[in-house]
Amino acid sequence: MRGVRIVGASLALIALVGCGDRGGESKTEQSSAERISAALDICAQGRGEFAQHVCENRTLAGLDSQVRDTLVAESASVSDAGAALLVENQNRWRDAQRIACGIIDPEAAPSAEQQTCLESEFRARVQEAGDAVQEVGGYTFQRMELVDATPVTAEVAAATGLGDEAPPAVLRDIRFPRIDGQQTPEIMRFNELVAQSPQFRLEDATNEVVDYRIAFAGPELISVRFDMSSDTLGAAHGNNTSKAVTVLMTEGRALTAADVFRAGAGWEQFLTQRAVAEISRQYREDGFVPPERDVQESATKPHLWLITEQGLTLLFPPYSFGAPYVMGGTEVSIPWADLRQYLNPAAPAPIRPSA
């Protein structure tokens, strides 16, 4: 039942992003620093046994206080809805780390090993809390987090062949950006297009991680890189991949090849040959030359194009360019100047050829 409740909470968070959040532009007393600080205070009365154990540990309490102070400061830049999500993200994160560190019973006191695990996770949280809100290209981006965990039962441990070597829990950590503030139709569409949802159920015994980086943000276009990994318990190895989501903000839709290149200009062959040459250089010591057909299939897909100020970055996830998985993935960056003769004159900035 716990797994069902957590999945429901994750999907509800996605629904909030996708369904509009039309009140997102408002900023009232409801999201004042005092209220947000109180909502994040794990040592407040009635928080439960686990909260009490955290507060009794000077190190954990100090780290959690640092996170709270940072998130309170970050909340000043977002709306009521954004501030509420900061609180929800942090509270869910704490609960997931408890389970991930093996404290299945929330009333149980942590062991020394579990305490060390919690301290490590809380320290990492201190470092990343300052990136919960980013101001880029005139937008306020808020980090959305679907962080859940479920215990690995003895039955699951046996079924995966890990037995006593199985980890205490399966963890899901999915992150994606949300533009806060006035929810115009274009911004609402962006939030819908970049929202990420779980690809595995918690009962599938698969750790799932999704992280992102904003490669470019401007009035006409926003390009976001996503790196995804999944690790099924007992599998020979995990799986990693990457993709780009690029949104034309003036139209509220995903980027297409026609938005970037002129039809019939021969850009497909140019990208392919450039990528083959660069990948061959990268793997020269391995004696690997990628098959042109495999490279072209990936190089011409817009969902593998990352738009930056400097140029076009072609993403090649593992398996996408004819290399064995052990070689991993790679990328090829091409300056806009080198692509000028192939570009659509009406392309959005920063793609549009300069005069």
pLDDT at 24: 56
Q: Is 2 a residue whose pLDDT tops 90?
A: no
Q: Is the pLDDT of residue 332 over 90?
A: yes
d(CA 252, CA 216): 16
pLDDT digits (tens, 9 = 90+) for 275-288: 999 999 999 999 99
Q: What is the reported pTM?
A: 0.90
Identify the CA nearest to 328 among candidates 340, 341, 316: 316
Q: pLDDT tens for residues 11-54? A: 445 454 444 454 456 777 767 889 999 999 999 877 899 999 99
- Looking at residue 222, its pLDDT comes to 98
Q: What is the mean pLDDT of residues 155-176?
A: 94
How does pLDDT run across 120-159, given as a tens digit for each residue?
999 999 999 999 999 999 999 999 999 999 999 999 999 9
Asked if 343 contacts 262 with a C-beta cutoff of 8 angstroms, the reply is: yes
Q: Is the pLDDT of residue 95 over 90?
A: yes
Q: Which of 289, 166, 188 is nearest to 234 (CA)?
A: 166
Q: Tokens at residue 210, please?
A: 């999704």
| pLDDT at residue number 14 | 46
Helix (H) / strand (E) containing 227: strand 221-232
**Domain residue limits, the chain:** 2-254, 257-342
Residue range 230-272, pLDDT digits in tens:
999 999 889 999 999 999 999 999 999 999 999 999 999 999 9
User: Across all residues in the chain, what is the average pLDDT?
Assistant: 91
According to the model, what pLDDT value does residue 61 have?
A: 95
Sheet holding 330-335, edge to edge: 305-307, 311-316, 330-335
The whole-number pLDDT of residue 30 equals 67
Q: What tokens were used for 61?
A: 């309490």
Identify the band that residue 355 occupies on the pLDDT scale cut at 50, 70 and 90: low
Q: Over the stretch 175-224, which tens digit does the pLDDT of each residue have?
A: 999 999 999 999 999 999 999 999 999 889 999 999 999 999 999 999 99
Is the Cβ–Cβ distance between 145 and 218 less than 8 Å? no
Query: Residue 342 above 70 pLDDT?
Result: yes
- Amino acid 325: pLDDT: 84
Tokens of 42: 């794990």
What would the DSSP string read from start to end of 259-277?
Answer: HHB-TTS-HHHHHHHHHHH
- CATH 1.10.287 corresponds to the domain 257-342: no
Quote the pLDDT of residue 5. 41
What count of other Cβ atoms lies within 10 Å of the Cβ of residue 102? 18
